[in-house]
Amino acid sequence: MQNENLVQISFFNQLMLVHPRKKQNERSEASVQVSEYFVNAEGTGDKVNLSDLLGTVEKTSGASNKTKKQLRNLQSSKETLELPLNKQQTEKIQRGIAYEKTTAEVSCWKNIILQNQKAEQMVFPLNQESSGPKRVEQVVAGWKVQTPLEQEIFRLLHGSRQPVNDPVLTPVEEQSLKAMSLEEAKIRRAELQKARALQSYYEAKAKREKKIKSKKYHKVQNKAKRKDFLKQFDEMVKTNPEGALEELKKMELSRMEERMSLKHQNSGKWAKSKAIMAKYDDSARKAMQEQLQMNKDLTQKMVVPSDDEHESIEEGLETVPDFVNDPETVIDPVNPWMRGQLTHEEPEVSCVTAEEVQTAEEENEEEEIIGEFERKRKLRQADEEDLIPTEEERKKIQEDVSEFNTLFRLMRSEKTREGSNQTRGGLNTAGEEDEEGLLSEGQIRVRSIEDLEVLDEVVEPRAIEEPSAPQTAAAEATSEPPHKKKREINLKEVLTKEAKAVRLPFLPTVVDEEERDEQISIIKEAFAGDDVISDFIKDKSRQEAAGRPAVVDLTLPGWGEWGGVGLKPPRWKRKRFRIKTAPPPPRQDQKLPDVIISEKRTASVASHQVSQLPFPFQNTAQFESSIRTPIGSTWNTQTVVKNMTKPKVVTKLGAIIEPMVKEDFIKSKTTSAGDLVFLSNCPEKINFIIFFCCKP
Amino acid sequence: MKVKVLCRNPDDYVRETTRDIQRVPRNYDPTLHPFEVPREYTRALNATKLERVFAKPFVASLDGHRDGISCITKHAKSLSTIISGACDGEVKVWNLPRQECLRTVQAHEGFVRGICSRFCGTSFFTVGDDKTIKQWNWEAPGYGVREEPINTILGKAVFTGIDHHQREGTFVTCGQTVDIWDEQRSSPIRSFSWGVDSFSCVRYNPVETELLASCASDRSVVLYDTRESAPLRKVIMQLRSNTLCWNPMEAYYFTCANEDYNLYTYDIRHLDVPVTVHMDHVSAVLDVDYSPTGREFVSASFDKTIRIFPKDKGHSREVYHTKRMQHVICVRWSADNKYVLSGSDEMNIRLWKANASEKLGLLSAREKAATHYNKKLIEKFQHHPQVRRIARHRHLPGDILKQKRELREMREARRRKEQNVRKHSKPGSVPLLTEKEKHVVAVVE
């Protein structure tokens, strides 16, 4: 309506502007048909104003205020309509809008795709249907509505949230199913069964115990009970004094009964016979004494200890600590961690159902075992390193150091030593070669394992450079001249530091002092001929010297100076032209007097070592830990191995893997919302449907 | 008197059946099993070597065509059936396990340009150089009955490709325009064109089933939505793309095989830069197909090799070739993720294992466990030089190797030149472009 008006008015305006209308004579006689083309504007000249045409609208009562307002606005505006865009531009805009729409739609897959990419294991085909006969409802689900009646019925059915296809159950039914699912029911039944079994077991046990005739058994039992009771009472005193008082009363009562009765006294038949026997039999005498003691105990008045007394008792206890009397826990030299295991607390049993407890326990057990192994492994590694006595700090650092760590350090140091004098281009090409996943393609065809070995030589022709040792000669010169005199080795004299005892976790090293002395003397005797230790020290100092950087002397005689052998260049020259390189990092065996750790890169091992930190890892420690954890069944339990080695993608043999189906993964929210609205609108229709459904 | 007895549960040491292995109680105490890392490393190395020794990917060759294979399609519902079309217009239906041809149809005059199977597996469509679309029944006609198509549509121009909708009775063809057809009608229900007059490939998105993508001769890849009136967007690259394939598990990714020896994976939401550039081929890439798991894809090239790429890696994990295989024109990945089919110029269809060293057939539980363990070991020690060296070694024919080296040199020279230009021009005037950015010319809205 508004648009029409707009068009008309603009048309009019244009007409007025372009063709100034000729003045027409007004006819005065009345006629039935008055042509609009002969309407003349009065007083304003030749142009017809919009207000003239629409003036009547203002006066008519039928027109709404809104239109009037719009018309008024139109009168004031004097713009012409814009030309429509050309085809190319409209299409471009259309494409842009369509693209935005599609991208938005496609983006809803983002979460699913990310989730699948991160998933530890994907099983294909994705939605595996259970094989076997289907329910009628599922078969019917593919059926399409055709006649209007069917359509009507289906609309109603959808409206009432009655399931037509896939979810065969109503929401209510589903909820009820959820409330009591099969699994839960099974669990519950299992619990009940277990409880029943336990009950019957306890009953049987009680019966059995009741039947036991052995006096000794009952005696022991009673004693245990009494002890238990006392313990409980002690606790009660602390926690629940009123209850304790009552208990006390009960005890008093029992004491009185005991005093009144002739039990545990000398008057019984058994006691009399024992009394006769006591003269001859030691055990009988003992039994008698025990009986009397029992009587004494039972008839003694209970004394509630006051606080100060308690304290004094405690003090007394404190003077002699408990563990003094404890038997020394024997630490198995093979299993030094056994003690830790013994003190390991039992997991507290809280008020969970028996089933849960059991499953949890199973899991716990496994985790515990794994955890323990991990701990042990670490301990062992630490132990291996502790074989080398070092300072405390070093120990701490080295606790998690494995062989790889040292190798890494070595490699890094070597790299830095090699310096960065490699050309950029060379580095780049090397990087390209080593890029992840790049196949190294060659003309060698691999047919057997021997071929693989040969591959090695062909592909890696570059030999690993040995760090040159030009200073060795100098080092030898500086080292002491070899001792010619033979003498007996004195350990104290040779080793500057007290050697710590080396703990070997594998063998029990229980050696008596005397034995050790003896051994030392034997060793002394055996090696009386050669001076091993001084040789060793010499060797070590030589190696240390070889590792030290030499001073590079670049001094040359200048103008007007003497040249030749044996001259001492001036001080400033020496200062300026003798270049001292930075000292290398401290040797690993710096503080170990009796060890030489070779920091040389061994070629045979180096070819098996990782020289660069691989991509996803941030630091060497991460990488090492990833390598250190074994995944094989030699070190892990079956389930752990299964978990650790499970493949990322699992496919079923002979199953067609269909592409994803949108309906399975992305729930459309609009339909469910619509259903709800529909439902709220027509409650009476539901009744109808129920009626409809009930009708056969 | 109390008699104390040692009691053992027979479950702990008696095996269930005599065919089981003997139960051996194990002590997992790590002190008893030292040197975990070196031992596992040795195992990993052995596993790697064995993997390479057992890598025999070639399974079978199906011969019978009398001209080069131009297209292959899988049956939608049967793993054992495929169809292939040849350059002489012949279409053959094959049974893979028996490795024999079930049926031969002279479908077209001239090339068979494209074949697609209907989603229900009852019929298939072929397009050819004779400007026709033909629908054929999967069932062979009875003895003595002539092979007749169910339906023939005569088009105005040559069709170069065809693809069928995932769930509905519509299909799409490409030629001079991209046409969407209803199976019941003889004229297209919609045609898309956007300033190009020749398309080489069109594919439906298998997940977002209304989306389409096509490769055009103006070096562009064009996206369409069948619900919209106009195409969505197109990306123009430096050289023409031959074919493309959508990822069946990730709705917005597709990979196109380009004339410039590379493959490009695009995210349709960000067309200006490809997500990954896959390079390894030494000649134009002619066909590409995703594995049904969406994790990898296989590409066929004019350089007589097939390569398998992980979807997010820039280089291939596997290369297949034989002496007799010529230019590979089409390639498909089987629907159970186990095999790859390739059709080449020299009239043979070849069946390859998707995983070269995989053992075929049913595996016992222990075999399965062992393979999983070995795979994991190789993965764990993949960064160790010996393992990596052996795992990555592939044999290549001499000429391809030579071409590869040549290409590398060329690339290096180009890089050097660019560097020099940059060095000698005003700073900032020669921008540093990544490999991904280099190949896209423009994105047209």
Helix residue ranges per DSSP H, A563-635: 571-577, 603-606, 620-628
β-strand A122-124 against A649-651: which pairing, if any? parallel
- Do A429 and B412 make contact, defined as CB atoms within 8 angstroms? yes
List of chain B residues whose C-beta atoms are within 8 Å of the C-beta of residue A333: none
What residues form DSSP beta bridges with B123? B137
pLDDT at A75 (0 to 100): 76
- H/E/C letters for each residue in A447-501? CCHHHHHHHHHHHCCCCCCCCCCCCHHHHHHHCCCCCCCCCCCCHHHHCCCCCCC
CA angle A407, A410, A414 (to 5 degrees): 140
If you measure CA to CA, which chain B residue comes closest to A111? B250
Helix (H) or strand (E) holding B262: strand B262-267
- Which residues 222-241 of B have a C-beta within 8 angstroms of A? 223, 225, 228-233
List of chain A residues whose C-beta atoms are within 8 Å of the C-beta of residue B357: none
User: Whose structure tokens read 């003498």?
Assistant: A487
Determine the distance in angstroms separating the CA of A423 from the nearest CA of chain B, rounded to an integer: 14
pLDDT at A695 (0 to 100): 40
- Which residues 226-285 of A have a C-beta within 8 angstroms of B? none
Distance of CA A489 to the CA centre of its chain: 57
User: Whose structure tokens read 């020794």?
Assistant: B53
Give the ipTM: 0.92
- Name the packing angle between helices A2-18 and A65-76 (round to 10°): 30
Would you state the structure tokens that stand for residue A668, as one six-digit string? 């459309």
User: Whose structure tokens read 């089987």?
Assistant: B334
List of chain B residues whose C-beta atoms are within 8 Å of the C-beta of residue A662: 207-209
Determine the distance in angstroms separating the CA of B29 from the nearest CA of chain A, rounded to an integer: 7
CB B150 within 8 A of CB B138: no
Would you state the structure tokens that stand for residue A435, as one six-digit string? 């890029």
**What is the number of alpha carbons within 13 Å of residue B77 lying toward its C-beta?**
8
CB B285 within 8 A of CB B307: no
Report how far residue B200's alpha carbon sits from residue B241's, in angstroms, rounded to the nearest whole number. Answer: 8
CB A43 within 8 A of CB A51: no
* A181 C-beta neighbours (distance < 10 Å), count: 11
- Which residues 83-102 of B have a C-beta within 8 angstroms of A? none
Spell B179-215 as b/e; 16+ CB within 10 A means b.
Answer: bbbebeeeebebebebebeebbbbbbbbbbbbbbbbb
CB A502 within 8 A of CB A389: yes
Would you state the structure tokens that stand for residue A654, as one six-digit string? 């002979």
> Nearest CB to A109: which of B251, B381, B390?
B251
List of chain A residues whose C-beta atoms are within 8 Å of the C-beta of residue B317: 437, 439
Would you state the structure tokens that stand for residue A51, as one six-digit string? 């207000």
- Do A377 and B314 make contact, defined as CB atoms within 8 angstroms? no
CA neighbor of B178 nearest in space, from B204, B153, B154: B204
List of chain B residues whose C-beta atoms are within 8 Å of the C-beta of residue A444: 393, 395
pLDDT at A165 (0 to 100): 54
pLDDT at B72 (0 to 100): 96
CA neighbor of A295 nearest in space, from A259, A264, A271, A261: A264
Does the CA dihedral A185-A187-A192-A196 come out positive or negative? positive
List of chain A residues whose C-beta atoms are within 8 Å of the C-beta of residue B372: 645-647
Determine the distance in angstroms separating the CA of B210 from the nearest CA of chain A, rounded to an integer: 10
**3 state DSSP class of B205:** coil
CB B195 within 8 A of CB B218: yes
If you measure CA to CA, which chain B residue comes closest to A458? B389
- Do A106 and B313 make contact, defined as CB atoms within 8 angstroms? no
Interface test with B, best of A384, A407, A439, A448 (most B CBs within 10 A): A439
Report how far residue B358's alpha carbon sits from residue B354's, in angstroms, rounded to the nearest whole number. Answer: 8
Does A659 touch chain B if contact means CB atoms closer than 8 Å?
Answer: yes
If you measure CA to CA, which chain B residue comes closest to A610? B384
List of chain A residues whose C-beta atoms are within 8 Å of the C-beta of residue B292: 124, 656-659
- Do A630 and B292 make contact, defined as CB atoms within 8 angstroms? no
CB B256 within 8 A of CB B267: no
> Nearest CB to A635: which of B33, B390, B416?
B33
What residues form DSSP beta bridges with A123? A650
- Which residues 316-335 of B have a C-beta within 8 angstroms of A? 316-319, 335
Would you state the structure tokens that stand for residue A691, as one six-digit string? 């009626």
- Do A657 and B28 make contact, defined as CB atoms within 8 angstroms? no
List of chain A residues whose C-beta atoms are within 8 Å of the C-beta of residue B396: 441-443
What DSSP designation does A577 have? Answer: H
Mind giving me the DSSP string for A166-182? SS-S-HHHHHHHHHT-H
CA neighbor of A263 nearest in space, from A286, A297, A233: A297
Helix (H) or strand (E) holding B24: none
pLDDT at B375 (0 to 100): 96
Amino acid identity, residue B357? S
CB A243 within 8 A of CB A232: no
Q: Which long-range contacts (CB under 8 A, 24 or more apart) does A386-395 make?
A: A386/A503, A387/A502, A387/A503, A387/A504, A388/A592, A388/A595, A389/A499, A389/A500, A389/A502, A389/A592, A390/A591, A390/A592, A391/A591, A394/A591
pLDDT below 70 — which residues of chain A?
1-51, 53-54, 128-132, 137, 139, 141-143, 160-171, 180, 302-374, 376-437, 456-512, 668-696
Residues in CB range of B313: below 8 A, 6 or more apart: A436, A437, B276, B278
List of chain B residues whose C-beta atoms are within 8 Å of the C-beta of residue A373: 28-30
* B74 C-beta neighbours (distance < 10 Å), count: 23
The verdict on whether omega for the bond into residue B25 sits within 30 degrees of 0, i.e. cis, is no
pLDDT at A508 (0 to 100): 43
Does A12 touch chain B if contact means CB atoms closer than 8 Å?
Answer: no
CB B202 within 8 A of CB B165: no
β-strand B306-310 against A552-553: which pairing, if any? unpaired
Report how far residue B68's alpha carbon sits from residue B86's, in angstroms, rounded to the nearest whole number. Answer: 6
Helix residue ranges per DSSP H, B11-163: 36-53
What DSSP designation does A300 have? Answer: S
- Do A654 and B316 make contact, defined as CB atoms within 8 angstroms? no
- Do B79 and A124 make contact, defined as CB atoms within 8 angstroms? no
Q: What is the count of residue pairs from A and B with beta carbons less than 8 Å apart?
A: 239
- Output the tens digit of pLDDT for each of chain B's 445 residues: 788 888 888 887 888 888 887 877 788 898 999 999 999 999 999 999 999 999 999 999 999 999 999 999 999 999 999 999 999 999 999 999 999 999 999 999 999 999 999 999 999 999 999 999 999 999 999 888 999 999 999 999 999 999 999 999 999 999 999 999 999 999 999 999 988 789 999 999 999 999 999 999 999 999 999 998 889 999 999 999 999 999 999 999 999 999 999 999 999 999 999 999 999 999 999 999 999 999 999 999 999 999 999 999 999 999 999 999 999 999 999 999 999 999 999 999 999 999 999 999 899 999 999 999 999 999 999 999 999 999 999 999 999 999 999 999 999 999 999 999 999 999 989 999 999 999 999 999 8
Report how far residue B254's alpha carbon sits from residue B290's, in angstroms, rounded to the nearest whole number. Answer: 9
Does A503 touch chain B if contact means CB atoms closer than 8 Å?
Answer: no
Report how far residue A18's alpha carbon sits from residue A21's, in angstroms, rounded to the nearest whole number. Answer: 9
List of chain B residues whose C-beta atoms are within 8 Å of the C-beta of residue A96: 445
- Do A98 and B315 make contact, defined as CB atoms within 8 angstroms? no
The torsion angles phi and psi of B345, rounded to 5 degrees, stand at -60, -30
Does B438 touch chain A if contact means CB atoms closer than 8 Å?
Answer: no
Report how far residue B212's alpha carbon sits from residue B377's, in angstroms, rounded to the nearest whole number. Answer: 42
- Do B335 and A657 make contact, defined as CB atoms within 8 angstroms? yes
Determine the distance in angstroms separating the CA of A609 from the nearest CA of chain B, rounded to an integer: 6
What DSSP designation does B89 have? Answer: S
pLDDT at A403 (0 to 100): 44
Report how far residue A606's alpha carbon sits from residue A414's, in angstroms, rounded to the nearest whole number. Answer: 12
Determine the distance in angstroms separating the CA of A222 from the nearest CA of chain B, rounded to an integer: 20
Helix (H) or strand (E) holding B246: strand B241-246
User: Whose structure tokens read 């009960």?
Assistant: A250
Does B430 touch chain A if contact means CB atoms closer than 8 Å?
Answer: no
What residues form DSSP beta bridges with B69? B86
Distance of CA A135 to the CA centre of its chain: 42
Report how far residue B79's alpha carbon sits from residue B97's, in angstroms, rounded to the nearest whole number. Answer: 9
pTM: 0.60
Number of H helices, E strands in chain A: 32, 5
- Do B369 and A641 make contact, defined as CB atoms within 8 angstroms? yes
Report how far residue B420's alpha carbon sits from residue A236's, in angstroms, rounded to the nearest whole number. Answer: 91
What residues form DSSP beta bridges with B178? B174, B192
Determine the distance in angstroms separating the CA of B231 from the nearest CA of chain A, rounded to an integer: 6
- Do A102 and B337 make contact, defined as CB atoms within 8 angstroms? no
CA neighbor of B172 nearest in space, from B159, B158, B184: B159
If you measure CA to CA, which chain B residue comes closest to A449? B49
What residues form DSSP beta bridges with B91? B85, B105
Helix residue ranges per DSSP H, B112-258: none
- Do B41 and A608 make contact, defined as CB atoms within 8 angstroms? yes
If you measure CA to CA, which chain B residue comes closest to A606? B385
pLDDT digits (tens, 9 = 90+) for A335-394: 444 443 333 444 443 444 444 445 445 555 556 655 666 676 666 666 555 544 444 444
User: Whose structure tokens read 């190789």?
Assistant: B378
Question: What does each C-alpha distance from B318 to A441, B243, B289, B310 come to in angstroms?
Answer: 10, 21, 15, 9
Does B422 touch chain A if contact means CB atoms closer than 8 Å?
Answer: no
